């Protein structure tokens, strides 16, 4: 029992780029592929792909620049045009690795939307001036972080900048001043937050328009459904972004009763629809009326295809609640 709120979109991908044809590790023949739909994430906001390529693990993938480019090209072929970074990913090296790949085909920049985050200072050999891990949402740090990010990525602007974590010392006026300066200089087009509570979101939104709140959300982590985060997104008509959508792999690996119940429920529904358990886990998130965008952080093209397939499947209420019941271990009151 599935319905499709989005028309299925397909593209002919028989003709790969020269780089993709030469890289047998990541290229495989397809006649047609389903594409991720796109949505406007806020009123007067940008349009992003519903599935987002998250690159927090890029430094662990041991890819050459050509291989990284091939991965990005194939993500674009799947309609995954929105790419998620943070300055700290890969010990401050992830953005440089992506930038190396993009430099091989700079025209691809106009076919994608780039997100990055800042506001955390890590202890790192790549940041020798940092003496303590802490948050910093000061104007100077935000602007310097963005300039470093643009240099590393080999791009002139970010489509969306997120404040990575709530900072107890955040001065909302100072953040707004930093964003105003960055937007004036053409370096950042939109602002959002990540991991903010509704009250923290409201504070910053009182000073500057916010486009999204990127939060942890999965069948194993439902806090955003009950702490007011997704309710706020619906009220403001902004689309949240869901990170760790597969619970960091715990959905597949954990041996506790909850994970086993979830695997059983997801597998049953997956068999009914003729898709993978992973696709159903993504579809469960996408079914929420706040219209979440889902991050996928895999280097496997097959994993991206599973995520995209979820955009063409709408779970029935009974199916959605059977997964909720498996996760909570109880029925609704």
Helix, strand, coil % over all residues of the chain, rounded to 5:
45, 15, 40
Is the separation of the CB atoms in 294 and 242 below 8 Å?
yes
Q: From its phi and psi, is residue 249 left (phi > 0), alpha (psi between -120 and 50) or beta?
A: left
User: Which residue(s) pair with 121 in the sheet?
Assistant: 134
Residue 103 three-state SS: coil
Is the separation of the CB atoms in 101 and 331 below 8 Å?
no
Is the separation of the CB atoms in 275 and 309 below 8 Å?
yes
Helices (H), 223-256: 223-226, 229-236, 250-253
Angle between helices 198-205 and 229-236 (to 10 degrees): 30
Token pair in block for residue 98: 């992506």
Catalytic residue, candidates 16, 89, 92, 282: 89
Nearest CA to 117 out of 165, 82, 154, 65 is that of 165
Please confirm, yes or no, whether 89 is among the known catalytic residues: yes
- How do 82-84 and 38-40 pair as beta strands? unpaired
Residue 79, exposed/middle/buried by CB under 10 A (0-12, 13-18, 19+)?
buried
The answer for residues whose C-beta is within 8 angstroms of residue 8's C-beta and 6 or more apart is 34, 312
Nearest CA to 78 out of 333, 274, 303, 229 is that of 303
Q: Rounded to whole angstroms, how far apart are CA atoms 192 and 213?
A: 6
Q: Rounded to whole angstroms, how far apart are CA atoms 151 and 168?
A: 29
User: Among all residues, which ones are annotated catalytic?
Assistant: 89
């Amino acid at each position: 029992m599935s319905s499709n709120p989005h028309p299925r979109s397909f593209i002919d991908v028989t003709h790969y780029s020269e780089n993709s044809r030469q890289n047998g590790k990541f290229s495989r023949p397809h006649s047609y592929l389903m594409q991720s739909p796109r949505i406007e994430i806020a009123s007067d906001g940008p349009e992003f792909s519903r599935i987002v390529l998250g690159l927090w693990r890029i430094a662990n993938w041991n890819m050459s620049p050509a291989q990284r480019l091939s991965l990005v090209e194939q993500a674009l072929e799947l309609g995954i045009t929105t790419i998620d970074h943070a300055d700290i990913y890969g010990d401050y090296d992830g953005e440089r690795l992506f930038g190396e790949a993009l430099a091989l085909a700079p025209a691809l920049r106009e076919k994608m939307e780039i997100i990055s985050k800042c506001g955390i200072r890590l202890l790192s050999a790549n940041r020798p001036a940092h003496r303590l891990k802490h948050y910093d949402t000061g104007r100077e740090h935000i602007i310097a972080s963005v300039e470093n990010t643009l240099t590393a990525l080999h791009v002139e602007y970010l489509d969306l900048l997120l404040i990575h974590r709530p900072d107890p010392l955040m001065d909302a006026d100072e953040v707004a001043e930093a964003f105003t300066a960055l937007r004036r200089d053409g370096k950042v087009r939109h602002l959002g937050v990540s991991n903010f509570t509704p009250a923290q979101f409201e504070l910053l939104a009182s000073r500057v328009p916010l486009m999204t709140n990127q939060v942890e959300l999965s069948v194993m982590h439902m806090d955003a459904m009950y702490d007011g985060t997704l309710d706020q997104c619906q009220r403001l008509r902004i689309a949240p972004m869901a990170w760790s959508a597969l619970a960091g792999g715990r959905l597949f690996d954990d041996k506790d009763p909850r994970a086993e119940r979830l695997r059983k429920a997801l597998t049953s529904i997956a068999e009914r629809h003729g898709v993978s358990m992973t696709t159903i886990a993504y579809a469960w998130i996408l079914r929420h009326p706040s219209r979440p965008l889902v991050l996928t952080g895999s280097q496997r093209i097959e994993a991206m295809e599973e995520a995209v397939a979820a955009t063409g499947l709408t779970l029935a209420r009974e199916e959605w609640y059977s997964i909720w019941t498996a996760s909570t271990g109880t029925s609704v009151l």
